[in-house]
Structure 1
Amino acid sequence: MQYFKNVLVRFRKSDRNLKIFLLGILFVGINSGILTSSFNNYLYDIFSLGSEVRGFLELPREFPGFSVFFVFSIFYFISMKNWAVLVALFSGVGILGLGYLSPTLTLMTFFMVIWSLGDHLFMTVESSVGLALSQANKEGKRLGQLSGARNFSAILGSSIVFIGFSKFHITYHTLYLIAFVVAIIAAYLFSRLKLQSQATIKKIKFIYRKEYNLYYALNVLFGVRKQMFLTFSPWVLISVFGTKPETIAMLIIIASVLGVFFRQAFGELTDRYGEAKMLKADALFMVVICLGFAFSKNVYLLYSLFIIDNLMFATRIARTTYLNKIVREKTDLAPTLSLGVTIDHLFSMTAPMVGGLLWVKYGYSSVFLATIAVAALNFFAASRIQYESDAFLRQ
């Protein structure tokens, strides 16, 4: 309780712009938490999708993440404040369309892409505005505060889904109307920001260097592994084991709460044992999780594995610190991270399509057995991490 009191005291002492932006993040995050924790059930309950269509749906859903670089490059002249308003509106209009204007799969896909565009663009907007609101040499602290607010709001969004379905038996229409309202509140709050009139999103650049090939490979493997599980682990729970929206929401709440502590612990363990050992450990955990989803019929075991898999997304920390150690120049860091995210999303778009086809032809176990092969490649790639010399990367 004292922790929350301290947070409120610090919030009251914050400057006006920071208060407004934190509240805006809170409402955008609630919108995101609501859709993230209910979307798979929505697809299954409303559209009765098969596994093949579910896999192919990830192509348009993840395309906005791939296109972020191009969007910001083309519309670089739009101010950070206006971008913040726009992404909140995208999130609101997208989820309202899903709830009320999607009688067909085509229209649903259209509004899903609008929502996804807002969600992916906000990742960059959040960082850019956060840096603009930071004091010199305290940028990391500010971004950490914003990340904490986003994580807390995601828990709130998932809690609305859990309480709404378990206690009040609400419909997706009502749920997504709530998400629309909070997004509009966020847009209004962002419109009240008073940033420098010329403050724009810093133009995103890419840098490709041969010596960073291992980092790129790790991002490819993470993109495949991440999206296969984000797509098909909840789909197995829902379509095979009949898991309800409130249960999925509760699993995400548990993973989010544990993630607050796990991410910090993972970062400390990475500093202590190194990126290679942590990424190899992730690959081994992945094998165990895949075997569980492929063969276990114990739904409670699968719930546990679902939570563990969500926690293991913290491996992004190890890839980032590895890159930080091998970059030729520190100015390479941000553009190489940008390229890594784009590569990640390129494979995030395409891997689930293969997974959906495997499910149809060989059953859902084949999806997770195939992902074991990805885990094996990830283990091999992590084994090649070294810092003393990058000569092996240039071969």
Structure 2
Amino acid sequence: MNHWLQRKSWQTPVGLLVLMSMAMPLAFASWQTLLNNFVVNEAGFNGADIGILQSLREVPGFLAFTAVFVLLVIREQRFALISLALLGLGVALTGWFPSVIGLYCTTVLMSVGFHYFETVKTSLSLQWLGHGEAPRILGQLIAVGSFSSLFVYCAIWVMSEWLQLGYASMYMVGGGLALLIVLFCATAFPDFPQPHTQHKHLVLRQRYWLYYALTFMSGARRQIFVVFAGFMMVEKFDYGVGEIALLFIINHLFNLFFAARIGGLIGRIGERRALVIEYVGLIAVFAGYAFVEVAWLAGTLYVVDHLFFALAIAIKTYFQKIADPADIASTAGVAFTINHIAAVVIPALFGIIWLSSPSSVFLIGAAMAFVSLLLACNVPQHPEPSRIAVMGNATPAP
């Protein structure tokens, strides 16, 4: 009891979530920022090699549902820190293995840590945060991650241009900082109690059908943004490395200043209205991508598109309000797998469509956003376990 009474004001579940949200981008943004130059200049990658590497990177996300089996032997809080350590270790080792096989191995190690961490972090956030505070704090966590990413971009520029460090050293810095934060979290924070004992088996419930559908469509939208929007900037509008980097910086600055406010907005207007705003906006953005002919306008659409990601918090808080609390950990893993189904299919399939009609890719994206809008209209204004959908309300939780 004395231990809890002596706990510092920052030694709270929210404090732990903030530090973990800071550590993840330190590692992952370092890996992502250096990757293309590293694989070409040091590992001699060709197009097929990088394609296989990116496919391997997505496999652990598709298998995120297996997290529930790990929870049979490890508490969620400890599992989150172990996963974050695997991410940091994979990134720290990347620069020491400049070969095709070496990069495949370090990428899989990094990706296992990343995807398990994101799965468990979502679960812990929804368990530890109250319904009223969850949207605001989830927005703040996005802002914290953006601050870390901005720090990484600046640090890599300094290490590369001023200090003339090699890839191995820069990867070690990014991964090593994440590992130091993990070590601090493991020693400085107590084991926080979980409000509800979590199921240790896969949970697929009919009553969560709307959450599953929204999650799948969100994953599909993300792939169009990640794979094709940025590619269009380079192929159609001849954006250089500096201009792409500037877009990334602007995106994270917007998150830094507005993500918490967007989270607060969701708390005030509700999940339904927030999702409707997001998908109406996305229809306009994707239609704009299809027909834009001006470089600066394309860049503006790219920034606006990224800003809508913060509104996706509403999907998580909608689930938090309708879920049996014991289902959260298992369903978080299942949802992450559902989200990544699109990551396996869309890049290859839409890549073929792109060859003949790039605008068709974005028009299909607009159609996907319209389907998401219809689903969002089915979210109740005030979701709860007995009211999960306007139409198609399944059996409520016991």
TM-score (normalizing by structure 1): 0.75
Point out the structure with the larger helix share: 1
Q: Match of 1:186, as an amino acid?
A: I
Corresponding residue of 1:234: 230
Corresponding residue of 1:154: 149
Counterparts of 1:1-395 in structure 2, within 5 Å, are 14-15=10-11, 26-39=22-35, 50=47, 58-74=54-70, 76-78=72-74, 83=79, 86-104=82-100, 106-124=101-119, 126=121, 149-163=144-158, 172-190=167-185, 192-193=187-188, 195-196=190-191, 206-324=202-320, 327=322, 329=324, 331=326, 335-359=330-354, 361-386=355-380, 390=389, 392-393=391-392
* CA distance in 1: counterparts of 2:162 and 2:358, whole angstroms: 32
Q: Deviations over 1:81-135 (max 9, x none)?
A: 764553344223422454341422x543332222122122223555678899x89
CA contact (8 A) 1:255 1:307 kept: yes
Report the number of matched residues: 379
- Distance change (3 Å), C-alpha of 1:197 and 1:367: closer
* CA distance in 2: counterparts of 1:196 and 1:13, whole angstroms: 15
Gaps spanning 5+ residues in structure 2: where?
Answer: 1-6, 382-386
- Whose relative contact order is higher, 1 or 2, with alpha carbons under 8 Å and at least 6 apart? 1
- Distance change (3 Å), C-alpha of 1:289 and 1:70: same
* CA distance in 1: counterparts of 2:253 and 2:341, whole angstroms: 29
Q: How far did 1:313 drift? A: 1.0
Corresponding residue of 2:4: none
Q: Match of 1:385, as an amino acid?
A: V
* CA distance in 1: counterparts of 2:259 and 2:143, whole angstroms: 11
* CA distance in 2: counterparts of 1:242 and 1:204, whole angstroms: 50
Does the residue aligned with 1:250 lie in a helix, a strand or coil?
A: helix
CA contact (8 A) 1:25 1:150 kept: yes
- Distance change (3 Å), C-alpha of 1:160 and 1:235: farther
Does the residue aligned with 1:76 lie in a helix, a strand or coil?
A: coil
Does the residue aligned with 2:391 lie in a helix, a strand or coil?
A: helix
Q: Deviations over 1:296-352 (max 9, x none)?
A: 343322222222111111232222343455x37555556545433331122233222
CA contact (8 A) 1:34 1:160 kept: no
CA RMSD between the two structures? 4.3
CA contact (8 A) 2:286 2:363 kept: yes
CA contact (8 A) 1:24 1:185 kept: no
- Distance change (3 Å), C-alpha of 1:85 and 1:368: same
- Distance change (3 Å), C-alpha of 1:336 and 1:294: same
Q: Deviations over 1:223-257 (max 9, x none)?
A: 10112212222233345545455543432332223
Q: How far did 1:280 drift? A: 3.0
- Distance change (3 Å), C-alpha of 1:312 and 1:196: closer
Q: Match of 1:392, as an amino acid?
A: M
Q: Match of 1:393, as an amino acid?
A: G
CA contact (8 A) 1:358 1:364 kept: yes
Q: Match of 1:35, as an amino acid?
A: W
* CA distance in 1: counterparts of 2:133 and 2:390, whole angstroms: 34
Q: Match of 2:359, as an amino acid?
A: S
CA contact (8 A) 1:58 1:352 kept: no
Q: Match of 1:119, as an amino acid?
A: F
CA contact (8 A) 1:79 1:198 kept: no
* CA distance in 1: counterparts of 2:214 and 2:259, whole angstroms: 19
CA contact (8 A) 2:23 2:181 kept: yes
Identical pairs, percent? 25
Q: Deviations over 1:354-390 (max 9, x none)?
A: 122222x315433323212211211222233346784
CA contact (8 A) 2:93 2:172 kept: no
CA contact (8 A) 2:156 2:170 kept: yes
TM-score (normalizing by structure 2): 0.74
Q: How far did 1:155 drift? A: 2.5
- Distance change (3 Å), C-alpha of 1:173 and 1:309: farther
